[in-house]
Amino acid sequence: MYTHPLRDQIIGEVHARPFQQISAPLALLQIAILHDDQAQDAIERRVRELAVKQGFELDAAGCGFFFTRQGERALRYEPHSEFYSLTFYRFGDTVVPEIPSGWNEQLPGAFLCGVEVLFRSEAPDFDGWAEEHFNPDRPGASQINGSDVMGHAAALRTDFRARSDSGFNRVLVQDQGGMTLFQAGRLLQRICEIETYRHMALLALPLALETMPMVSQLDQQLAGVVERIAEPDSDAALLLQELMALAAQVEDLSAHTANRFSATEAYFALVDRRIAELRESRIEGLQTVEQFMERRLDPAHRTCRSTGERIERLSQRIGRSTDLIRSQVDLSIENQSRDLLRGINHRARSQLRLQAKLESFTVIVVTYYAFDLIDRSLRNVVVDESLETRASFILSASVPIIALVLFWYVRRLLKAYDKDEE
């Protein structure tokens, strides 16, 4: 046997995006950037070049994900199918790290979202710390959301609102004792993923809102065509042509939206899974992350799902309507074929009946040939002249009998044809 060429890649995929060992205090900033039709290899090369310029050490043979630390700062790069994320760490402090100067202009792709996570050790004034960052008295302030997570091992607070100073959402996390380094790494990574995936999921909402009126318009056009199908004087060819035009528009709409709506379903599922992994415990007076997402994201999720389902149902209805018209056309063609065959059959029977009637006139001819055949046979067989004369006399007397027998036979044939016609 030999080693499969993909074996190492398959084994490495399980450990492609490991959680980091993290301890408080710490602050991180994660940003998600869409590829924007740029090649992933080119993006990775550019990110690596920028990281090296900032003094980070990277493996030259590396490919894909990387995490590198230089003193109290670190950088994490994680590629995805539609976007990539960069996470900047600052260890030993809760001051949010900044994106290096010039990176905003040099990073490839389109910036989508960012989240700031401040992680500190256990302290008695967590609620006061949260009010400092999410001042509920400021104009336009949102309700603070939070809960105990990871089986009460940590506490979380956020308002899910972009800050006026940085434009990023901020999340406060406090270790309440008992968290391991890997648990802390998983918790912070899940928080970042929830923020990223919810933005990726909502990318389909504007498309859904834009598509919904178009679907409604096509739906009304289809209803008008279906109403005309039942009309007795409807033109099936024209109806089929209109249905084909509607089907082409629906398929074009489906091709334009199917991938985005399918990706949205996947991202919403990831958000739900990451929230479930937080293992939240509700705190009286606070809305949990799950409750916030259920209230704010579920309508958008239903809108996107409903739009995709309406497009699919519309395509199915067009298919059923097309089958109905084709059935009517097939029935009409069958009726026309039946009438045509009936006419051909009628003409054939008329021709056969005329031919059979004409055959009655051949009785005389057949009688003549029969008489002549018998007469010649008698002349060759009978030697005695007197017997020949007597036989000829009897044969001449039997001509009416021969004619009647032939006439009876022909009538019998005609009677059989008349029964078939009936």
User: Do 126 and 142 touch, CB atoms closer than 8 A?
Assistant: no
User: Do 204 and 264 touch, CB atoms closer than 8 A?
Assistant: yes
Q: What pLDDT sits at residue 191?
A: 96
78: closest CA among 33, 22, 12? 33
What residues contact 147, with CB distance under 8 A and at least 6 apart?
Answer: 155, 156, 278, 280, 281, 282, 283, 286, 288, 289
- The mean per-residue pLDDT over the stretch 105-134 comes to 92
**Residue 137 — pLDDT band, cuts 50, 70, 90?**
low
Q: What pLDDT sits at residue 139?
A: 54
3-state secondary structure of 286: coil
Tokens representing residue 319 in the block:
């298919």
* Largest CA-CA distance found in the chain, in angstroms, rounded: 156
**Residue 49 — pLDDT band, cuts 50, 70, 90?**
very high
Q: What pLDDT sits at residue 390?
A: 75
User: Do 168 and 162 touch, CB atoms closer than 8 A?
Assistant: yes
Q: What pLDDT sits at residue 79?
A: 93
Look-up of token digits 């091992």: 153
Degrees, nearest 5: CA angle 314-315-316: 90
Position 150 pLDDT exceeds 80: yes
Average pLDDT over the chain reads: 86
- C-alpha–C-alpha distance, residues 170 and 158, integer Å: 6
Q: What count of Cα atoms within 13 Å lies in the side-chain half-sphere of residue 44?
A: 18
pTM for the model: 0.76
User: Do 27 and 120 touch, CB atoms closer than 8 A?
Assistant: no
Position 60 pLDDT exceeds 80: no
User: Do 319 and 250 touch, CB atoms closer than 8 A?
Assistant: no
| Number of helical (H) and strand (E) elements in the chain, helices listed first | 11, 8
CA dist 260 → 204, 207, 254, 379, 389 (Å): 6, 9, 10, 106, 112
Q: What pLDDT sits at residue 154?
A: 95
- The mean per-residue pLDDT over the stretch 56-68 comes to 82
Q: At what angle do helices 236-278 and 181-201 cross, to 10 degrees?
A: 160
311: closest CA among 420, 208, 416? 208
Look-up of token digits 């990831």: 270
**Beta-bridge partner residues of 211:** none
Position 89 pLDDT exceeds 70: yes
β-strands 26-34, 83-91 pairing:
antiparallel
Chain centroid to Cα 96, Å, comes to 42
Instruction: Provide the phi-psi class of 3: left if phi over 0, else alpha when psi is between -120 and 50, else beta.
Output: beta
Residue type for position 275:
I
